[in-house]
Amino acid sequence: MTYRHTRKGRRALSAVAITAGLLLTVAGCGGGGGGKSDRDGSASSASATKGGGGSGAKDSSQSSDSDDAPLAEVKSGDVTLTITSVVRDDGGFVTVDGQVINNGGEFWVASNWRSDERELGANGASMSGASLVDSRGKKKYLVLRDTRGRCLCTKFEGGGVDAGKSTDWFAQFPAPPEDTTKVDFQVGAMPPASLEISEG
């Protein structure tokens, strides 16, 4: 009798172990797919929360696509200058952002992009010589600087850009009047780039 009870107990334990094993296997298989859908769902809900609904998520993907395309691109020799944003901020200035790409086989020196102004002489190889030109208002806006003569712009590490490399840059200017929405960006010997100012 004891032997029979032991066999029944072992069978019951075996059945429980097999059932538990099957449940874990099913949960494990379901967990892989469920984890993915949970991740997708949480990402969707996060972007929906961030963007304020499904259309917000779509808008954010569209804006990231548009961020990739430069607003303007000018070339001089092996150097390409791209401009990715021109934003008027509430503080009364315009910030211009972009990239400098050195497509040549030698180091590009940015010395001729610096300002000729004595006050900005200590900035070295930088975007301090850049300007915005309002053709309609017949005004030229130079890069802003602080009280110590440091430009509110990119200073190139090492004086330029290595061969085959690119680097991000920015420059800040006084904002033209509100009704001025189009300006030309100029730096060094690069051709001018026509730009439209967007509101920040």
Q: What pLDDT score was predicted for residue 68?
A: 67
pLDDT at 195 over 90: yes
Same-domain check for residues 84 and 152: yes
Number of domains in the chain: 2
Q: Enumerate residues 6+ apart whose C-beta is below 8 A from 186.
A: 130, 131, 132, 133, 192, 193
pLDDT at 58 over 70: no
Q: What pLDDT score was predicted for residue 51?
A: 38
Same-domain check for residues 27 and 118: no
Q: Which domain holds residue 114?
A: 70-199
- Band of residue 67 on the pLDDT scale cut at 50, 70, 90: low
Last residue within a domain, chosen from 44, 66, 88? 66
Last residue within a domain, chosen from 66, 87, 112? 66
Q: What pLDDT score was predicted for residue 123?
A: 83
pLDDT at 103 over 50: yes
Same-domain check for residues 75 and 102: yes
Last residue within a domain, chosen from 66, 81, 102? 66
User: pLDDT digit string (tens) for 140-169?
Assistant: 999 999 988 899 999 998 999 999 999 999
Give yes or no for a contact between 175 and 142, defined as CB atoms under 8 angstroms apart. no
Same-domain check for residues 107 and 167: yes
